[in-house]
Structure 1
């Protein structure tokens, strides 16, 4: 009786693992489908449980064809997850070439720090100390509300240039730059509630570099709708915002680009891969390290959702996570140097362009349904 029960547990576990592994293949923006894009590393680790149960059952009952069948199914599930994870390990080839700082050589470098500080966090002094230690040339902070803006005011002494918007409810985003900003603008892409930063800065030894800082809405977030009912958001608005940024980059392939922020999407998702295809931007983590940035407090439940993408006019010196005291995110610290720009254009197919267009239309429509002016602008730095 116990052995029969154990076999049914194995069957149900493996079938459940198959379902959650394949759910993200469904072309739907529903949050309960899209969320299964995130825990591929955790789901791979969870396969240990059916493997253990299967081994115990086979040992007690003697191996059968059914044991072999479920074993193959478990290996197939593991392989499917690993095809998403392995590109972000050292076994894969890199997208962004590595550059090394040579002693005595005057090499131009550019350091970018991206960090979601979490608006409910009050560890202001520790975060300021972290920023001073990292000493970035470009600093993008996300979820900056009025309290954070007040505590971060001393940064204006170290950074001559600033652009962004201070907002409550985790919607604020601000960029500080040591380099002159030739252009600067706060844009609302899919939603009037979600600002993004578009800027062009003049980098010494590099020239004009175009920059985008973004923080799309996370799928599964509970927000109040126009009907005053709380509802969990799906991924359509997020996907539309990422596609609109990709389209913006795609229209100017000759420039050097840096796009960074809390994308609320994992590095291996179809949406992020489509974003990279359309924009022709590269992920410095590919072929190196996963660098999962959320959730900072739970090592066993982390995903890579904070990103920095660059054009082919950059080489990588270093990329690493940074502890942001009190935040549920790690920061992402990236040091770049100038590389050869080949002025190539996106090689996205007509089907991918059409898919992006559909994402934009659906996301803008979804945002319009949810845009409720419950959060007001608190200030524009």
Structure 2
């Protein structure tokens, strides 16, 4: 057992170091996803040490090292808990009405369409986004079009299709293909009944993994291209989707800084979504960012409807006269802007090997 204790320490050290190496290969990027689980394993190993201690001469050095690792990971993770102080804001008489939306990676091969329809009927969002939605999903969701009369549809069979449905009027909508002609990002301009305009971006870049993309170049390039586009828009902005990324990764931080947007999970919760079936192996990869005049009232996951992702539910309002959130915006340095541009170019140059039609194994 003492040997197992030492092996765990070495493994935890490796998993901590790998993400610090700025290499886009999935071997270096995947450990970022497991920071929450790694932190729990550090605690487990620390407790295990008291049970299996044999070499007392070095025991406290090992335990002190584990404590340092815990503090290192905890310093990042605590920001995504209610322990981190963030002011809560209330609606005023000059803010918009409350808006509700749902974002869901439906899983292209999920045949339980009726469960998702029931979810929408239960929570009655003002608008919702689906990812991995293909022609079959589009057909299945047709009954909702009676109430959600505004739509923007990008049906694809490669697991990167995307659909947007809204009760709120769509003024303009377009589909971007920033780094690859089979990876869409949608941009939808909306206006509420009382005249509040805002822009919604839906994103779903490919993940770095041994079974999909070898590197994170396309993912990072796509996200940072979206960030660059956001800075050219004057209206309030929401960016939502399956980022295939975590909020504390280098590319997510660059996204937040270059887009001048706010991460609403800070001071709230992780809102972990994938994998829906495995609670203790669940990562927060369905993210959201918003501009300073959008205020979040509630952000949480909803019940599983048969997908491998849990849906994300959000309530928000818009207030142009409240500028208190401006101090939450971190802006990129010149060096970070240069790094972002390099990552965008690398993403465009990367040749993702994807089939136009993906079938379930």
**TM value normalised by structure 1:** 0.87
Correspondence for 2:89: 98
Alignment of 1:292-371 (within 5 A): 292-339=272-319, 340=321, 342=323, 347-366=331-350, 369-370=351-352
CA distance in 1, matches of 2:3, 2:346: 41
Which of 194, 198, 203 aligns to 1:209? It is: 198
Correspondence for 2:132: 143
Question: Unmatched 5+ residue regions in structure 1?
Answer: 1-5, 224-231, 377-381
Distance of aligned partners of 1:174 and 1:306 in 2 relative to their CA distance in 1, 3 Å threshold: same
Which of 240, 244, 247 aligns to 2:228? It is: 247
Correspondence for 1:228: none
State the 1:12 CA deviation.
2.9
Checking the alignment, whether the CA contact within 8 Å between 2:196 and 2:318 is kept in structure 1 is no
Distance of aligned partners of 1:129 and 1:189 in 2 relative to their CA distance in 1, 3 Å threshold: same
Correspondence for 1:34: 29
Alignment of 1:133-212 (within 5 A): 133-205=122-194, 207-212=196-201
Distance of aligned partners of 1:204 and 1:233 in 2 relative to their CA distance in 1, 3 Å threshold: farther
State the 1:273 CA deviation.
1.3
SS in 2 for 1:222: coil
CA distance in 2, matches of 1:292, 1:156: 29
State the 1:110 CA deviation.
1.0
How many residues are matched? 354
Q: Are 1:67 and 2:51 matched, yes or no? A: no
CA distance in 1, matches of 2:357, 2:99: 35
CA-to-aligned-CA distance 1:170-218 (integer Å, 9 cap, x gap): 1110101112211110111111111111111112335220111010001
SS in 1 for 2:28: helix
Correspondence for 2:207: 218
Question: Unmatched 5+ residue regions in structure 2?
Answer: none
CA distance in 1, matches of 2:183, 2:294: 29
State the 1:47 CA deviation.
2.0
State the 1:346 CA deviation.
6.7
CA distance in 1, matches of 2:340, 2:277: 34
State the 1:48 CA deviation.
3.8
Checking the alignment, whether the CA contact within 8 Å between 2:256 and 2:330 is kept in structure 1 is no
Q: Are 1:125 and 2:114 matched, yes or no? A: yes
CA distance in 2, matches of 1:147, 1:73: 53
State the 1:122 CA deviation.
0.8
Checking the alignment, whether the CA contact within 8 Å between 1:34 and 1:235 is kept in structure 2 is yes
Which of 230, 234, 238 aligns to 2:215? It is: 234
State the 1:28 CA deviation.
0.8
Q: Are 1:110 and 2:99 matched, yes or no? A: yes
Checking the alignment, whether the CA contact within 8 Å between 1:100 and 1:317 is kept in structure 2 is no
CA-to-aligned-CA distance 1:21-79 (integer Å, 9 cap, x gap): 12101111101110000111111111244324421343x56x43x11110111011111
Which of 73, 95, 99 aligns to 1:81? It is: 73
State the 1:164 CA deviation.
2.3
Distance of aligned partners of 1:124 and 1:375 in 2 relative to their CA distance in 1, 3 Å threshold: same
Question: More deviation in 198-207 or 288-297?
Answer: 198-207
**TM value normalised by structure 2:** 0.92
- 4+ runs of 1 displaced by more than 4 Å? 341-346
Correspondence for 2:245: 265
State the 1:169 CA deviation.
2.9
Checking the alignment, whether the CA contact within 8 Å between 1:130 and 1:324 is kept in structure 2 is no
CA distance in 2, matches of 1:310, 1:53: 42
